[in-house]
Structure 1
């Protein structure tokens, strides 16, 4: 008789259904509902939950139309799906990058003195004043793309205060962040507060340029690479802003919503400062253990493959559990696959 480990993060009707399905592969709906005295709703909810986790997968060749998959196989499948999703997002980002590069080149060739619709704002007080002005004048919607580098904790707090005021005025905010930036602890805290206030946020592994579009009438675009902030192009041309709107919408449509795990609470703002920088990256050992865990390898199997003691493997797993706030080894693998941590590091 198969009994599900306590660490597998499902409970209630879904757990009962899963254990029964593993022990009775040819189960039928009538049979399950009779055994557990369920109505149609309880049965449907259990099926939906298990299918969402990949523990039940459609199988037309079986009497009930489903195949019960072991948790380790479900984790491996989720990791594969995460890789496919990452590759699709990267392709979309590269497409947007190429389109935007051509657009910026065309815009840069416009003659400012003839139209007055294109100007440059130098990095520093001039650009800061411009951004504050256009933000305060927004009436309906502000759209933005925010590639790396991410703002510091202090910069994020200042931006959050400005954006909160804008949201309270009823202005809609939509922003696409680069995934690596959104994954930083202080940025997760920042985005958690802003989404709670009504801002909509999505992420992509790469973004082509930093830009802001206000009320579909004005756009401010970084004049160089995302890391090169010497100046910004300010556009008031209806045609030029219209092209950037299409690029933003294309990027937004291919970006991914933030998962709840990416918005976990961080320390209060008056608490100790959150560390930033390279120390937040995975160590080589953590990444190797994480990949093997997501593939369903046991602690003993990991120790043999990596030449580590079981004690060292378990200590590393504990570090990973703490990092993603998981309560069990199983949850670490699922969180890593869903958040794209494994594939994000492989892509680099």
Structure 2
């Protein structure tokens, strides 16, 4: 399946994408639906979904996210999807997604048809938004809904380690305090970062606080 849409304007980069996406998320409190069928991890849409905050997760409407079939075999994507479900989002998998990605709200849409991501266009035309809404509903109806798994909470040792990450302690300092080897600390930190869908130790600490783990 492929799509072609007229556009109001093109976005010049991740910063403008994030600003526009947040504008749309905050401007309309109804349903939000998106699909993501892009290759690069640095595409800005997953970051917007991770960092959407209260306007995204406490909205009155549904939040539905469709990933390509097989995407949950990638640990980072699986961690993102699980975290989204814990926030109340519905997640689906589809083998028939168009290339690229879309975020759609009643206020507007951001769309790319490039499988490598980027090159997003902003859509505000009501007629086009209605057509995109119909497409999104069709994609959702044809997707396989993913059942939410109970969140695996950290152990007390992992909580202590996360608190030390927030404090900025080194692996060596953490190892000494917890009576672990440096190698074990590095392994546990890597596992926690993957579970939290974090790209840095600092981000892991922030996300742990957001989830109420520490």
Alignment TM class, shorter chain as reference: 0.5 to 0.7
1:254 aligns with 2:105: no
Per the normalisation by structure 1, the TM-score is 0.40
Deviation at 1:205? Answer: 2.6
Aligned counterpart for 1:242 among listed residues 114, 130, 133: 130
The residue number in structure 1 matching 2:65 is 175
- Structure 1: how far apart are the matches of 2:87 and 2:105? 19
Q: How does 1:1-348 map to 2 (within 5 A)?
A: 97-98=1-2, 100=3, 103-104=4-5, 107=6, 118-149=8-39, 151=41, 159-163=49-53, 165-208=55-98, 209-215=100-106, 217-222=107-112, 224-229=113-118, 231-259=119-147, 265=152, 270=162, 271-272=189-190, 273-274=193-194
- Aligned partners of 2:10 and 2:94: how far apart in 1? 28
Larger RCO (CA under 8 A, 6+ residues apart):
2
Counting matched residue pairs gives: 160
**8 Å CA contact 2:21, 2:48 repeated in 1:** no
Are the structure 2 counterparts of residues 198 and 260 from structure 1 closer, same or farther at C-alpha, using a change threshold of 3 Å? Answer: closer
SS at match of 2:51: helix
- The DSSP-based 3-state class of the residue aligned with 1:198 is coil
Query: Per the alignment, do residues 150 and 192 of structure 1 end up closer, same or farther by CA in structure 2, a change over 3 Å counting?
Result: farther
Alpha carbons of structure 1 residues 168 and 122: separation in structure 2 relative to 1, 3 Å:
same
**1:157-178 residue CA offsets vs partner (Å, 9 max, x unmatched):** 7632315552224342111111
| Deviation for aligned residue 1:218 | 1.2
- Aligned to 1:234, the other structure's residue is in SS state strand
Q: Offset at 1:121? A: 1.5
Larger Rg: 1
Please name the residue that 1:296 is paired with. none
Kindly indicate whether the alpha-carbon contact (under 8 Å) linking 2:85 and 2:148 is maintained by their aligned counterparts in 1.
no
Change in Cα spacing, 1:169 to 1:255, as seen in structure 2 (3 Å) is closer
Q: Is the 8 A contact 2:96 2:139 kept in 1?
A: no
Instruction: Give 1:179 shift.
Output: 2.3
Structure 1, unmatched stretches of 5+, are 1-96, 109-117, 276-348
Alpha-carbon distance, 1:142 to partner:
1.1
Distance 1:165 1:234, change over 3 A: closer
